[in-house]
Amino acid sequence: MTDPSQHLSRSTELTAKVGVLLQKRLTVAREKFASTVRDSFARHGQAALQDKPHPWNWWSGAADYALDFAQRSVLFLDALRQRGNNFVEHTRAGLPPVLHFDYHMVLDGRGLPQPVNYALVRIVPPAGVTVDERSRPYVIIDPRAGHGPGIGGFKDDSQVGVALREGHPVYFVIFYPEPEPGQTMLDVCNAERLFVAEVRALHPESPKPAIVGNCQGGWAAMMLAAANPDDTGPVVINGAPMSYWGGAWEEGAGDNPMRYSGGLLGGTWLASLASDLGAGKFDGAWLVQNFESLNLANTYWDKYYHVFANADTEPPRFLEFERWWGGFYLMNREEIEWITRNLFVGNKLWKGGVQTGAGGVFDLRELKVPVILFASMGDNITPPEQAFNWVADVYGSTEEIKARGQVIVGLLHEDVGHLGIFVSGKVAKKEHAQIVNVMESIEALPPGLYGMHITQRKGTDGKPAYDVHFEERRLEDLVARLNRFQRADEQPFEAVNSVSEFNQRAYELFARPLVQSVASEFTAKASRTLHPLRFERWSLSDLNPALWWVGPAAQLVKQQRKALPAEHPLRRNEKLASELTSASLEYVRALRDAMSEAMFFATYGNLFSLYLADRPEHQPAAPQEPRELAVVQQALAGIEQGGYAEAATRAAFLLARHGEPLPLSRLELKKDLLAEYKDLLPKLSQDEARRVRGAQELIVRYAPEQAIATLPRLLPERPDRERFLSLLQRLLADERVQGMQPSPEQFAMLERIRSTVTAGSGTGPVRSIATRQERRAAQ
């Protein structure tokens, strides 16, 4: 039992750290606010003060500004009215997906034996776009986080658009506003499995379909691939919160406040309460409201002022986005409780503690396909720690990734926000397009962890072109870089989980019967109708008789519009006032987040220290040498086991260049060589080949001398030896390989492999075609 004085010491130390961090957060917020105010006055205030027009000109300018202000006010109010009308019409139409593309139904989940409100549709290529039915299909899963589907195909430059332009068939998983009775998340996962099977049946000559998951659709895609590892192709997850406790408690600017909300609200019971008040259905508008509360300045001022300041041009873009942002969908109680308990608060997916419903668990180590992770440093909803930390939790080490034959590619954007990952046209044309372009090359990568880098250049046609290269990384280095607090900040979330389970059980025993007895379909519908996010839309629509004059007035304004330039002194003063308002709201947000963070760690950090920190699983383990890891020892134990496939793969690693990035050109060359020499290469599926490559790379890395010496044991039959040596000779004699300028070390290794295999097998020497190449390299 731990000495109470040790608990007191830890608590005192934690309290002091929280106090120091809070002080820094407040200082950063205050300095940022002061800097923003100074910059705003420098840009707008000084110019306005220096402009001293004649009094008559001033009065004339004031009159012009008053007219412009009044006209923009009418146009702005009309934009809000149109938003309200769009909301009402969209709701009455059943909240259809906001896809920019036409589509037709393939499989409706509402007709399955266990009905779900999901469906699989196929995107119809627009005019001028041709799709090859034998190309790899893409299946895109959008997030079900309060909004409706369609964000992955929201515009022409989107995930759907770039895949179509590359000639791929594209399928989209949509969902309906109302869940089916009794529907669970496991039912949804099973339906998505059937969707993928249907796509495979429709494209029997194509590679396995690539699964693209956006945000929460990302963990849905990972569940699908983990539960059905033989049916899915590569998985791309964009801004997906996989490791929910991550977020790096740093001694810098405050960020990622959403991860604290579960603990500050007492856990999952509040979602259950909202569902019971909704007569068994959870209103997705509450999730959207959580997103909006992250950025007070944008939610309550910036986005509206931007429309007001640009009332002549901005409304169409505003209305297009609001059509998606204002479409609120529902979940069953069972669905939101499963999500909050297993993922948001429980964080159980990567632990193998989530049941599949078929007698097993979701084990991400069973994945057999490459996984591409796309995240952004500017994302405060799914920060990079949440997108990448699960890799360390599941695999533990770089060596285990290789031993399991897994390929994981990370792509990190510098500053785009969460929504920008999905809706930005620039991101679609760069990151999403390049992911599609290099998918086959990613499948050809040896097992391991890679960083994907995209560099922009000017193409021959003058338009932007991109070069892609892959740099191998070590998992241990990546985790240390992303988690500057060494993940100690995640420990209090275990206390959150314990408190949440207690509160959930207490709610179910004492409060739920009472809440369910007073809730009804009528009260649930009324509460949804009067939700603030819905009310602010329909109340400013043609349903409101007080707005009868807005539409005609807006038409009259457009006919007689007299706009002032943005450089007008009074317009600059207006802009100054707007920036000061925005800065004030941002300052309030920063103070709120700083206080919330301090409260969270002061509360749950102390709870963890008192009740959980002394458990054996939380004691620091002694550092282990990579060679001593179980997966490495297992690979080395099989150094003499295998056949031609293992020998050819081992030779490839012995001859490989080490420590160099892999440009796309080299990967494309590798693909061409594999196709040309397929008669000399082992016949393995891609999944089997990756697992063989992973084991052989570990053998070559940790026992290179033994790897060479035991090669003859893998080639006991003379036909295999001759085939193996012939493969080496033909490859080195290939002009494309010569163009890569093999090093003297590679020539020396080649000769050593040849002599070892020849001597170990007892056969005569095989004449070398590459002798002249060796002499040329030596010169």
> What is the tally of structural domains in the chain?
3
CA nearest neighbour of 481 among 400, 389, 406: 389
Together in a domain, 642 and 771: yes
Q: Is residue 48 part of a domain?
A: yes
pLDDT of residue 367: 86
Q: Is residue 182 part of a domain?
A: yes
pLDDT band of 764, cuts 50, 70, 90 = very low
Q: Is residue 279 part of a domain?
A: no
Between residues 9 and 18, the one the model is more confident about: 18
Whether the pLDDT of residue 763 is over 80: the answer is no
Alpha carbon distance, N-terminus to C-terminus of the chain: 72
Whether the pLDDT of residue 111 is over 60: the answer is yes
Question: Under the phi-then-psi rule, with left for phi > 0, alpha for psi from -120 to 50, and beta for the rest, what region is 61?
Answer: alpha
> Own/partner pairs for 191-195, CB < 8 Å, 24+ apart?
191/109, 191/112, 191/114, 191/116, 191/118, 192/118, 192/141, 192/220, 192/224, 193/224, 193/227, 193/228, 193/231, 194/107, 194/109, 194/112, 195/106, 195/107, 195/109, 195/118, 195/120, 195/139, 195/171
Together in a domain, 704 and 606: no
pLDDT of residue 772: 39
pLDDT of residue 768: 38
Look over the chain and give the mean of its residue pLDDT values, rounded to a whole number: 88
Together in a domain, 140 and 13: no
Task: Report yes or no on whether pTM surpasses 0.85.
Answer: yes
Q: What mean pLDDT comes out for the span 341-359? A: 75
Least confident of 299-303, 386-390, 773-777: 773-777
pLDDT of residue 523: 97
pLDDT band of 488, cuts 50, 70, 90 = confident
pLDDT of residue 770: 39
Domain boundary among the residues 461, 490, 519 is at 490
pLDDT band of 777, cuts 50, 70, 90 = very low
Tokens of 529: 């109708």
Q: What mean pLDDT comes out for the span 714-733? A: 85
Q: Is residue 81 part of a domain?
A: no
Q: Is residue 267 part of a domain?
A: no
Together in a domain, 659 and 601: no
Whether the pLDDT of residue 710 is over 70: the answer is yes
- CA atoms of 683 and 644, how far apart (whole Å): 10
The CATH number that applies at residue 187 is 3.40.50.1820
Q: Is residue 43 part of a domain?
A: yes
Whether the pLDDT of residue 104 is over 80: the answer is yes
Between residues 9 and 493, the one the model is more confident about: 493
- CA atoms of 449 and 327, how far apart (whole Å): 38
Whether the pLDDT of residue 274 is over 90: the answer is yes
pLDDT of residue 506: 97
pLDDT of residue 6: 78
Query: Contact, 632 vs 403, CB < 8 A?
Result: yes
Tokens of 483: 């988690």
Whether the pLDDT of residue 56 is over 80: the answer is no
- CA atoms of 154 and 149, how far apart (whole Å): 9
Together in a domain, 456 and 601: no
Together in a domain, 468 and 425: yes
Whether the pLDDT of residue 36 is over 90: the answer is yes
pLDDT of residue 681: 78
Whether the pLDDT of residue 778 is over 50: the answer is no
- CA atoms of 233 and 166, how far apart (whole Å): 17
CB within 8 Å of 704: residues ≥ 6 apart? 654
pLDDT band of 732, cuts 50, 70, 90 = confident
CB within 8 Å of 201: residues ≥ 6 apart? none
pLDDT band of 46, cuts 50, 70, 90 = low
Q: What mean pLDDT comes out for the span 727-731? A: 79
Whether the pLDDT of residue 673 is over 80: the answer is no
Together in a domain, 461 and 594: no
Q: In what order do the strands lie in the sheet with 464-473?
A: 103-108, 118-123, 170-175, 138-141, 210-214, 235-238, 371-376, 407-413, 448-458, 464-473, 662-663
pLDDT band of 749, cuts 50, 70, 90 = confident
C-alpha 578 chain-centroid distance? 33
Together in a domain, 674 and 608: no
Whether the pLDDT of residue 662 is over 80: the answer is no
Tokens of 399: 């060596």
pLDDT of residue 131: 96
pLDDT of residue 311: 96
pLDDT of residue 656: 78
Q: Is residue 564 part of a domain?
A: no
Together in a domain, 26 and 125: no
- What's the pLDDT tens digit per position in 574-592? 999 999 999 999 999 999 9
Q: Is residue 113 part of a domain?
A: yes
Whether the pLDDT of residue 537 is over 80: the answer is yes
- CA atoms of 690 and 405, how far apart (whole Å): 5
Domain that holds residue 613: 1-52+587-620
Query: Contact, 117 vs 109, CB < 8 A?
Result: yes
pLDDT of residue 485: 76
CA nearest neighbour of 118 among 185, 59, 62, 73: 185
Q: How many CB atoms lie within 10 A of CB 661?
A: 12
Q: What mean pLDDT comes out for the span 31-49? A: 83
Together in a domain, 153 and 46: no
pLDDT of residue 55: 56
Going by DSSP bridges, is the β-strand pair 170-175/138-141 parallel, antiparallel, or unpaired? parallel
Domain boundary among the residues 463, 490, 517 is at 490
- What's the pLDDT tens digit per position in 159-193? 999 999 999 999 999 999 999 999 999 999 999 99
Together in a domain, 419 and 462: yes
pLDDT band of 619, cuts 50, 70, 90 = low
pLDDT of residue 364: 84
Query: Contact, 770 vs 737, CB < 8 A?
Result: no
Whether the pLDDT of residue 358 is over 80: the answer is no
Domain boundary among the residues 620, 637, 672 is at 620
Together in a domain, 596 and 646: no
- Please report which residue ranges of 41-114 form alpha helices under DSSP H: 46-50, 55-92
Which residue's entry shows tokens 């006055």? 41
